[in-house]
Amino acid sequence: MKIHALLREVSRNLTSGTSRLGAFFSVAAVSVSLILLSDVLTITRIVDEAIEYRGSGSAVVTLAVPGRINGESCEALTEVPNVLAAGAMRESGKVSATTLPGEPLDLYTTTPTFAQVLGADDNGEGVYVPTDVATSLGAISIPIADGPVPVRGIYAYPPDGRRAGFGWAVLSPTSPDDGVFDECWALAWPQRTDLRQLMLSAVTPATGGGSTEQPQVSQLNTKYGLTFAGTTAYQTRITQYAPHVVFLIGLMLGSIAVWNRRVEIASNLHAGGTRGVLYLQQLIETIAWSLPAAAAGWLLGFFASANTAPTELTSLTIRSAEIVIAFFAGTLAGAVIGFASVREGRLWRYVKGR
């Protein structure tokens, strides 16, 4: 059979309903879409939990040893993989704004990068203040008795379980070598199990006026647990087997689609048709419904990812592609198995059993 005759036969089968294009496409598209969406939404939920965990300050580890923190050593922690920001601070009393003299602000002297641990933006020079202070006193400058102090950056510090004391405060940056500090804070993401031990490198010997107490290591917010459990949840999620499941579904649908045509295939073989040409015909007809179904599932996964987890769009798009490719491969394998099961010598048995 020549190629144009083969394509003409395929076209007739697809348009006449012989290949049941619509039925197989519908079943395939729905099956792949449901399984793919379940995996995308499961991953999205884990991503949302990760964003909430990190945004709450739970990923910030604090080391407190009054008068014994070396600012330079604390900031050097950013050279450690996964440590996004680190800085030291010490309490420096209070400061009053002229517009609200009855509500003094807690004043902290910090190393330059301390505010980055809290997610503050940076506009060049001045002090850092939380959102509440910026709203009440101004986001450009803070009016104090000595004159207005420019606001260098603003950070969010909601009362969501994190340590109190920085929601109504002023952070005044200084040089890392400007004396010793009371605490070292570090933000690591993904979290490091050895971060607490690494932070001890910022502690200086107990000499002079430094505290002789043991270092106190904690979290900025203990509400969500010591470590984020999302990694375990991701690795143990049931939907991790989605590619295997859709491969089996594709295998089943592909073999059924060809097996349903066993009388036609055996008859063509009996009439002198070659197995290679007939196999190619069945393969093309299988692709005609399985490829659009896979594409529909991938597009649905892409739009779901874009709307629910835009920050992870690339990884989720790749994951969706893995699932639909597994399905498409399954349908082709199913078509091979289904065609290989048809025998010319069983034609009359197929006819009787139809």
* pLDDT tens digits, one per residue of 175-215: 999 999 999 999 999 999 899 999 999 998 877 665 677 88
Question: How many folded domains does the chain comprise?
Answer: 2
Say if pTM beats, i.e. exceeds, 0.85.
no
CA-based nearest residue to 32, from 339, 284, 322, 260: 322
Last residue of a domain, one of 174, 189, 223: 223
The 8-class DSSP code of residue 162 comes to B
Based on the fold, state whether residues 286 and 266 are members of the same structural domain: yes
Based on the fold, state whether residues 184 and 246 are members of the same structural domain: no
Based on the fold, state whether residues 36 and 160 are members of the same structural domain: no
Based on the fold, state whether residues 167 and 241 are members of the same structural domain: no
Sign of the Cα torsion 125, 127, 130, 131 reads negative
Mean pLDDT value of segment 244-261:
92
Based on the fold, state whether residues 273 and 335 are members of the same structural domain: yes
Based on the fold, state whether residues 85 and 218 are members of the same structural domain: yes
Which residues are within 8 A (CB) of 209 and not within 5 positions of it... i.e. 6 or more apart?
A: 67
Last residue of a domain, one of 223, 242, 273: 223
Q: Which helix (H) or strand (E) holds 109?
A: strand 100-110
Which residues are within 8 A (CB) of 98 and not within 5 positions of it... i.e. 6 or more apart?
A: 143, 144, 145
pLDDT of residue 249 exceeding 60 = yes
Based on the fold, state whether residues 262 and 160 are members of the same structural domain: no
Based on the fold, state whether residues 116 and 75 are members of the same structural domain: yes
Cβ-based neighbour number of residue 175 at 10 Å = 10
Based on the fold, state whether residues 252 and 323 are members of the same structural domain: yes
pLDDT of residue 261 exceeding 70 = yes
Q: What is the pLDDT of residues 313-347, one digit of tens each?
A: 999 999 999 999 999 999 999 999 988 877 766 66
Last residue of a domain, one of 223, 247, 280: 223
Based on the fold, state whether residues 79 and 178 are members of the same structural domain: yes
Based on the fold, state whether residues 218 and 92 are members of the same structural domain: yes
| The two structure tokens encoding residue 178 | 């400007």
Domain of 181 in residue numbering reads as: 60-223
Based on the fold, state whether residues 314 and 274 are members of the same structural domain: yes
